[in-house]
């Protein structure tokens, strides 16, 4: 049997598949936060304002719809854990 080594960079792959779990939500949250943070016109916003904008931008995510309080807790944890600005 011959093994083939395939290179795959998941970080650069955008998936249209969203799941009703915290991991899927965290991936979408991080992406939305980074996109907002790269927008210079939004750089002076407070973390709370950024959080609200990001949550609104991903409001169709299944985890945010089914567990909004837990989703916000996950988001706040990610901000703290990753030292997001």
pTM of the model: 0.78
Q: What is the pLDDT of residues 48-71, one digit of tens each?
A: 999 999 999 999 999 999 999 999
Q: For residues 62 and 14, is the Cβ–Cβ distance under 8 A?
A: no
Residue 11 domain-assigned (yes or no): no
Task: Tell me the two tokens of residue 65.
Answer: 């719809």
Residue 73 domain-assigned (yes or no): yes
Q: What is the pLDDT of residue 7?
A: 41
Residue 27 domain-assigned (yes or no): yes
Residue 34 domain-assigned (yes or no): yes
Task: Tell me the two tokens of residue 78.
Answer: 């990610």
Residue 18 domain-assigned (yes or no): no
pLDDT at 35 over 60: yes
Residue 16 domain-assigned (yes or no): no
Residue 17 domain-assigned (yes or no): no
Residue 37 domain-assigned (yes or no): yes
Q: For residue 65, what are the domain limits?
A: 23-81
Count of domains forming the chain: 1
Count CB-CB contacts under 10 A for residue 25: 23
Q: For residues 80 and 32, is the Cβ–Cβ distance under 8 A?
A: no
């Amino acid at each position: 049997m011959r093994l083939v080594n395939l290179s795959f960079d998941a970080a650069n792959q955008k998936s249209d598949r969203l799941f009703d779990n915290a991991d899927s939500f965290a991936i979408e949250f991080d992406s939305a936060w980074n996109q907002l943070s790269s927008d210079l016109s939004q750089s002076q916003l407070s973390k709370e304002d950024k959080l609200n904008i990001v949550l609104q931008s991903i409001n169709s995510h299944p985890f945010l719809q089914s567990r909004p309080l837990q989703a916000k807790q996950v988001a706040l944890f990610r901000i703290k854990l990753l030292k997001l600005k």
